[in-house]
């Protein structure tokens, strides 16, 4: 979709959307390739003792069988079907089957507890769940609260009222006529947490995949190229894992690695990427900082990375510099939200790359930094990131929440709640969430700059900065720091880190309080949960 042109201005001028009147994600990412080359690798599952490859032909057959089985079980167009599984080939087959059926896929992270599942399944009115034995054990605890839930299917086999995934496929035909869907017909719903209230279901049409394509091709430097192989540690239940990597890669016929980690392991990530020859990785900033904290891979692992993209929170200039120096390539930062994803990005291949910046507007989108009245900010002025509708990647609305949907817009600008500033060259720099901004002695301070500075200190592995209420200054900056292995906390180290930041930033930005912690609280998507840190005081 993105033309291969040598400069940003030419790309912006040449790009045109091509959204057909009839479009189905399942057909696009599977059947299209299966009809041309059924043995083409689609999913490469890396287990502890073996590697299993699922080709497009197998995905087509299994997804068709599952679509038949779901239809036989009473599922129909518009029904919500949840997928509660770690990354695996059956997850992909489930997504494809749901899309072909015209139903709505609801991806859920395996790490969700019973309360999180209870709310999402009830709110969405889910009629069927595809899961494993671990998921079934959670559902047993809450099934009485879920009157709409009629069908539970387990990839670990039948158990009581739970149906076996493979068993229901055995008697189903491998041929299925997909439901005719349009680009605006609902395809998936991903729950996103706001600063207040319960999570909201962001409902997307089938066009959401087409809307993501330029935002994937741009930071992955004209993806795909011969030999490309994709991987992300981000859970496929998150928009970052599902739409930044999995589905776009399959659209382009690029195989995707499925690797299950019990908590992100940077050494295991290096080893796996080298062994399998991963060429394109999407790795959130927190995971990159964990990789930065261990020994460099050179001499130990022979990486073949062509592109490395990061998103989800600010990458920072320090991690950017580390990527250049240690990995030998630019980390192309990108930006988006579940409601409207991948609208800003970098592309070092054509010179769109600047330390500390998420890049520029991706071709095909109209986005910027605006004031409260909807006018664009002047260069250097802090405002809110916003995207103008209509836009193929933008959500249809929040599930059963029209008022919340309306509040997401100022005129035709979809507002994000993220503060940023844009320089004279069009590069956008993330400042922080509305609720993450620290107000101290009359200054408005974004945590990202402080955290990036803290990472330059040789004792710091990972850090987060929040505001702590203070009677004199309104708030003071407090830092929560995970130290590098072998470094012990001390009062002397606190003083040294404070001086380090004060000398490199300013007197009002250094952390007046520092807490050394074994780990930081993270969301399932790898973002630091600053709210929990603020609550610690």
Each residue's pLDDT tens digit, 243-264? 999 999 999 999 999 998 877 8
For range 470-493, the mean pLDDT: 91
pLDDT of residue 444: 61
Q: Poorest-confidence range of 64-78, 185-199, 438-452, 464-478?
A: 438-452
Contacts of 131 (CB under 8 A, 6+ apart): 82, 83, 84, 85, 139, 152, 153, 154, 155
In terms of pLDDT, which residue wins out, 12 or 473? 12
- Predicted TM-score (pTM) of the model is 0.86
For range 390-397, the mean pLDDT: 98
Contacts of 459 (CB under 8 A, 6+ apart): 483, 484, 487, 493, 496, 497
Map out the domains of the chain with their CATH numbers.
437-536 (3.30.300.30)
- Answer yes or no: is pLDDT of 168 > 60: yes
Per-residue pLDDT of 374-389, as tens digits, reads: 999 999 999 999 999 9
Average pLDDT value over all residues in the chain: 93
Q: How far apart (Å, rounded) are the C-alpha atoms in residues 439 and 420?
A: 16
pLDDT of residue 78: 98
Residue 271 has, within 13 A of its CA and on its CB side, a CA count of 11
Q: Where are the alpha helices (DSSP H) in 114-206?
A: 114-124, 133-142, 165-170
- Answer yes or no: is pLDDT of 195 > 50: no
With contact defined as beta carbons under 8 Å apart, do 238 and 245 qualify? no
For range 221-241, the mean pLDDT: 95
Q: Are strands 413-422 and 428-433 parallel, antiparallel or unpaired?
A: antiparallel
Q: Poorest-confidence range of 118-132, 342-356, 465-479?
A: 465-479
For range 261-284, the mean pLDDT: 93
With contact defined as beta carbons under 8 Å apart, do 90 and 114 qualify? no
pLDDT band at 315 (very low <50, low <70, confident <90, very high): confident
Q: How many CB atoms lie within 10 A of CB 325?
A: 9
Contacts of 524 (CB under 8 A, 6+ apart): 109, 111, 112, 235, 237, 238
pLDDT of residue 193: 67
- Answer yes or no: is pLDDT of 477 > 60: yes
- Which residue spans within 47-185 are E strands per DSSP? 51-55, 80-84, 104-108, 128-131, 151-154, 163-164
pLDDT band at 441 (very low <50, low <70, confident <90, very high): low
Give the angle subtended at the CA of 46 by the CAs of 42 and 48, to the nearest 5°.
Answer: 160
Q: Poorest-confidence range of 423-427, 448-452, 480-484?
A: 448-452
pLDDT of residue 519: 93
Sheet hosting strand 360-361, strand order edge to edge: 51-55, 41-46, 256-259, 230-231, 280-282, 307-310, 331-337, 340-345, 360-361
- Answer yes or no: is pLDDT of 442 > 70: no
Tokens coding 470: 């203070």
pLDDT band at 525 (very low <50, low <70, confident <90, very high): low
pLDDT of residue 86: 95
For range 315-320, the mean pLDDT: 90
For range 458-474, the mean pLDDT: 89
In terms of pLDDT, which residue wins out, 438 or 108? 108
pLDDT of residue 443: 63
- Answer yes or no: is pLDDT of 23 > 80: yes
């Amino acid at each position: 979709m993105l033309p291969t042109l040598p400069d940003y201005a030419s790309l912006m001028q040449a790009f045109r959307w091509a959204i057909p009147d009839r479009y189905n994600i399942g057909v696009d990412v599977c059947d299209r390739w299966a009809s041309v080359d059924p043995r083409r690798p689609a999913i490469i599952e890396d287990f502890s003792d073996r590697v299993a490859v699922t080709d497009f032909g197998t995905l087509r057959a299994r997804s068709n069988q599952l679509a038949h089985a779901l239809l036989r079980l009473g599922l129909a167009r518009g029904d919500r079907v949840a997928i509660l599984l770690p990354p695996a080939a059956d997850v992909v087959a489930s997504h494809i089957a749901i899309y072909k059926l015209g139903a709505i896929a609801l991806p859920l992270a395996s790490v969700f507890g019973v309360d999180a599942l209870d709310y999402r399944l009830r709110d969405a009115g889910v009629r069927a769940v595809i899961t494993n034995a671990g998921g079934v054990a959670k559902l047993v605890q809450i099934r009485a609260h879920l009157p709409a839930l009629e069908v539970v299917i387990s990839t670990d086999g039948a158990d009581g009222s739970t149906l076996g995934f493979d068993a229901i496929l055995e008697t189903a035909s491998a041929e299925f006529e997909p439901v005719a869907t349009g680009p605006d017909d609902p395809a998936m719903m991903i729950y996103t947490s706001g600063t207040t209230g319960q999570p909201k279901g962001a409902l997307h049409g089938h066009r959401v995949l087409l809307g993501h394509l330029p935002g994937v091709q741009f930071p992955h430097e004209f993806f795909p190229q011969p030999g490309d192989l994709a991987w992300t540690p981000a859970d496929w239940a998150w928009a970052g894992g599902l739409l930044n990597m999995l589905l776009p890669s399959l659209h382009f016929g690029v195989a995707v690695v499925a690797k299950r980690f019990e908590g992100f392991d940077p050494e295991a990530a290096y080893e796996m990427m080298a062994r399998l020859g991963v060429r394109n990785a999407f790795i959130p900033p927190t995971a990159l900082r964990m990789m930065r904290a261990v020994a460099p891979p050179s001499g130990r692992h022979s990486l073949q990375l062509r592109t490395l993209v990061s998103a989800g929170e600010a990458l920072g200039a320090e991690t950017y510099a580390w990527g250049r120096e240690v990995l030998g390539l630019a980390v192309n930062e990108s930006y988006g939200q579940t409601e409207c994803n991948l609208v800003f990005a970098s592309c070092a291949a054509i010179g769109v790359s600047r330390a500390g910046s998420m890049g520029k507007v991706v071709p095909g989108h109209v986005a910027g930094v605006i004031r409260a009245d909807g006018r664009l900010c002047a260069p250097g002025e802090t405002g809110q990131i916003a995207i103008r509708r209509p836009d193929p990647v933008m959500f249809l609305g929040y599930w059963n929440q029209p008022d919340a949907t309306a509040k997401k817009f100022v005129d035709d600008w979809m507002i994000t709640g993220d503060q940023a500033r844009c320089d004279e060259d069009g590069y956008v720099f993330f400042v922080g969430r509305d609720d993450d901004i620290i107000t101290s002695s009359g200054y408005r301070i974004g945590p990202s700059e402080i955290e990036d500075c803290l990472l330059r200190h040789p004792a710091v592995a990972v850090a987060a900065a929040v505001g702590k209420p203070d009677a004199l200054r309104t708030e003071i900056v407090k830092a929560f720091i995970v130290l590098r292995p072998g470094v012990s906390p001390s009062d002397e180290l606190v003083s040294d880190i404070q001086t380090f930041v004060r000398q490199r930033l300013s007197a009002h930005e250094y952390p007046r309080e520092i807490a050394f912690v074994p780990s930081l609280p993270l969301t399932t998507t790898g973002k630091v949960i600053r709210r929990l840190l603020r609550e610690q005081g």
